[in-house]
Homo-oligomer: A and B are copies of this chain.
Amino acid sequence: MAVNEPGLVIIGGSDAGIMAGLWARQINPDLPVTLIVRDRYPNYSICGIPFYISGETPDWQMLAHRTTADLEAAGLQLLLQHDATAIDPAAHRVAVRTPDGTTTDIPYDALVIGTGAAPIRPRLPGSDLPGVHLLHTIDEARTLRSMIDADARQVVIIGAGYIGTEMADALAHRGLAVTIIEMAPAVLTTFDPDLGQIIGDQLTRHGITVATGTTVERIEHADGPGLRVIGTNGLDVLADAVLIAVGVRADALLAHAAGAATDDRGALVVNNMMATNLPDVWAAGDCVHTHHVLYDHPVYLPLGTTAHKQGRVAGINAAGGHARYTGSLGTQAVKILDLVAARTGLRDTEATAAGYDPLSITIAVDDHKAYYPGATTIHVRLTGDRHTGRLLGVQLIGAYGAEVSKRVDIAAAAIHAASTVDALADLDLSYTPPLSSPWDPLQTAAHEWTRHRPVP
């Protein structure tokens, strides 16, 4: 690809798009790379929004993974506040609305779609009232933070996934009265309910009102200023602001309109090179379905880590290199108050649905030797396949500082290697009394699992 050709065009300036651009330049430093970015904020960490809201990150501009200057120095041409409105795959052109409202056509040799996801707004009366927020962009975060800095005192959060619970933590940190509402029986719905309950209890202990098993039926104007949130179980609570965090859906309409295949959830279909069905068009990040190490079919698992890895693969391949996405395990960590919850692989129910024959055990053990000060409890749930002995998943909850998140990553590495539960216990893992035990908590759990497994 010569430098006078159109080169690589990328739609989207978040994790997937930026990674695609940076890696494309890395393997082909002469390749022209143009990013079409809808807003003014390329490469912002939306995972950092809760910490900006809490004030722990004082300035929203700190949330940039890289500055615009960094990106331009790396050879990326940024078209900020440009909106891609159509793709013509036959002509290899993207129609773009510029900041002044005119439309222009940008040619490409290769195109990477990184249009991300959009937050789901539930079909709920009042969900479009002023004061109801769908927190997904830097501008929305700034608006909410301004409200809090001014006079908001009571906030209701609808949805207690990891973003909802992080936001409950953040708003309580600012001294607001917080109610968090979840339909499921416990908060932190990507964990088993009894483990989510540990986080829920911690939220309660910190003065947050937790309403699980509760469905919001409507949001309406309060008699005075503010809003009133009404639902099942007698839910009737006033709020200066309502935050909806019930999940996201792939934002794939642009590519779909150009003929890109989507799955039944609306996510773009890609192969493990991150190629779509359109010629010279790749896609990555929250707008695509995700290949999973333990499922024989793709799933929708939008996560920042995955977007980074997929963006890298898309960028390398779009620039003429060769890379393959090796698959997700849905590995996640979240810090809530002074606890960390982390998971990788499949929970028991997920493993059953995927056709495995799972056995799960749970232990609660010290993170390090009790004779060294500060030992705390780690709850370990380990899931393996009864038939093959294969390790399928781990969920951990423990104290912030107790190396919880990277312990889950040991299990992730083992699952990637198709390890058995027994082999997890054989790994030569580190030990010093202030940080672990001679058998790491994961290995104690592996022993416990083997004790419970019926002799094969």
Residues of A participating in the B interface, judged by any CB pair closer than 8 Å: 15, 26, 45, 47-48, 51-52, 56-57, 62-63, 65, 293, 303-309, 325-335, 340, 342, 344, 369-373, 400-401, 403, 405-410, 412-414, 416-417, 419, 423, 426-436, 438-440, 451
Contact = CB atoms under 8 A, between A and B. Distances in A.
The 4 lowest CB-CB distance pairs between A and B, nearest first, are A417-B417, A413-B413, A333-B430, A406-B406
Contacts of A334: 432
A409 B427 contact: yes
Given A332-B430, A333-B435, A344-B430, A423 B372 contact: no
Nearest to A407: B406
Of the candidates A328, A409, A416, the one having the most CB atoms from chain B within 10 angstroms of its own CB is A409
A283 to B, nearest CB: 18
A428 B327 contact: yes
B430 A331 contact: yes
B369 A45 contact: yes
B293 A428 contact: yes
11 contacts: A45-B369, A47-B431, A52-B371, A56-B373, A62-B370, A330-B428, A342-B430, A406-B409, A412-B428, A413-B427, A416-B426
A269 to B, nearest CB: 20
B410 A51 contact: no
A329 B428 contact: yes
A348 B369 CA distance: 32
Contact of A416 (B47, B373, B428): B428
Contacts of A432: 47, 332-335, 340, 405
B426 A326 contact: yes
A446 to B, nearest CB: 12
Nearest to A374: B56
A434 B304 contact: no
A370 B48 CA distance: 10
Of the candidates A62, A423, A435, A451, the one having the most CB atoms from chain B within 10 angstroms of its own CB is A435
A413 to B, nearest CB: 4
Contact of A403 (B45, B307, B403): B403
A435 B407 CA distance: 12
Contact of A371 (B63, B417, B435): B63
